[in-house]
Amino acid sequence: MIKVQNICKTLGTTLAVNDVSFDVTAGEILGLLGPNGAGKTTTLNMLVGILQPDGGTVRINEGNPCDAGTRHYLGIAPQGLSLYEELTAQENLTFLGQLYGLSAGHLRDRVHEMLEFAALTDRRKHPVRTYSGGMKRRLNMAAALIHDPEVVVFDEPTVGVDPQSRNHIFDRIEELKKNGRTIVYTTHYMEEAQRLCDRVAVMDHGRILAMDTLGGLLTTYGGAAIVKGELEPDCQLAACPGVEADRSFRFSTNEPVREVVRLSESGVAFKALQINQPDLEAVFLSLTGRSLRDD
């Protein structure tokens, strides 16, 4: 569905994207994870044909996204709210649907569906400038989907959104996945990538540092799980690794649950127990030597 090969882009004097390649198959969600300035948005802009790569190729359904015909397959929810604030939600959606050449009846149905999708049916005749940040984000997504595209690109769709709207957005994206849409999703929130993405590409300084399924990345770069806690006074202290004088303990293992069961069976009694599984934060730390949210 999407084929990106060795794309590069220099913006001013900065090499924003450097030799990036990836494929996305139909119905898959690929997450681009990286801090601000990693090159995610520039990569997306080349993916949807807004920017021409200095080198390399992008193909959507075998077509060049710079061609108007190929862009029929594409929908984008840009990071900035790309909405006409003086128009109502209904007018925004109708205008975009008309641009994509939807017939009058189909357009009416799609506008109705997208207003439902964004939970804005009640506010459809209010100007967008009167909406909350979450409402605008949802409408921004709906605008990307008005023409029912096969490929949808979400560029940090939850920035500045309240938890309720964030959950609404996650639900809608999962719904899209169920309906077989191919999605590219950029974020610097690892929780979002963990929840939504089939595969994650970790980006930094314009390059993809690693790309795999979530499990694959955790296995390869996340390291072992950390088990820590405190033991009961009268238990078999010697059987537990990493015990301190105050009976607190900390050790790492690739199979934390099995190890805890084994210790319990050998007479170790836990007063407090905490298992820290490896996550994308750890993956990013492992790949770059710094935290994802250092900036």
Partner 1 sequence: MKRILILSLKDLKLISRDKLGMFFMLAFPVLMALFFGSIMNFGPSGSNALKIAVCDRDRSPVSRRFVKNLQDNEVVDVDELPREDAVDSVRRGSHAGVIIIPPEFGMTAGVIWKDAPPIHLGLDPSRRAEAGMLEGMVMQAIGGLVMDRFQDPATLRPLIEDSRKEIQADDSVPLPTRVVLSTMMESLAGLIDSIEQVQSTADTAPGDMEQEAARGRGELRLASVTYIDVSRSPDPGSRAAILSKVRSGWDVSFPQAMVWAVMGCVAGFATLIVRENTLGTHTRLLVSPLTRSQLLAGKGVACFLCLMLVLTTMIMLAVGLGMRPRRWDLLVLSIASTGVCFVGLMLPLSLLGRTEQAVSGTVWGICTVMAMFGGGMVPVVFMPPFIQTLSNFDPVKWAVYSMEGAIWRGFTFTEMLLPCGILTAVGTVSLVIGSWMISRRQA
DSSP 182: E
**Residue closer to partner 1, measured from CB, 183 or 190:** 183
Closest CA to 277 of 229, 227, 231, 210: 227
Query: Are residues 186 and 154 in contact, defined by beta-carbon separation less than 8 angstroms?
Result: yes
DSSP 218: I
Query: Are residues 265 and 180 in contact, defined by beta-carbon separation less than 8 angstroms?
Result: no
**Residue closer to partner 1, measured from CB, 44 or 214:** 44
> Measured from the CB of residue 59, what is the shortest distance to partner 1 in angstroms?
16
Other CB atoms within 10 A of residue 164 CB: 9
**Residue closer to partner 1, measured from CB, 99 or 272:** 99
**Rounded CA separation 186/197 (Å):** 10
DSSP 234-269: TS-GGGSTTB-TTSEEEEEES-HHHHHHHHHHTT--
> Measured from the CB of residue 107, what is the shortest distance to partner 1 in angstroms?
11
**Residue closer to partner 1, measured from CB, 80 or 180:** 80
Query: Are residues 197 and 31 in contact, defined by beta-carbon separation less than 8 angstroms?
Result: yes
Query: Are residues 165 and 142 in contact, defined by beta-carbon separation less than 8 angstroms?
Result: no
List the end-to-end C-alpha distance of the chain, in Å, as a whole number: 34
> Measured from the CB of residue 223, what is the shortest distance to partner 1 in angstroms?
39
- Residues near partner 1 (CB under 8 A) are 48-50, 52, 68-69, 71-72, 74-76, 78-87, 91, 95-96, 98-101, 127, 143-144
**Residue closer to partner 1, measured from CB, 132 or 213:** 132
> Measured from the CB of residue 168, what is the shortest distance to partner 1 in angstroms?
21
**Residue closer to partner 1, measured from CB, 100 or 270:** 100
**Residue closer to partner 1, measured from CB, 47 or 260:** 47
**Rounded CA separation 140/162 (Å):** 15
- Paired with 10 in beta bridges are 15
Sheet bearing 55-60, strands edge to edge: 14-24, 2-11, 55-60
> Measured from the CB of residue 251, what is the shortest distance to partner 1 in angstroms?
50
> Measured from the CB of residue 86, what is the shortest distance to partner 1 in angstroms?
4
**Rounded CA separation 28/110 (Å):** 24
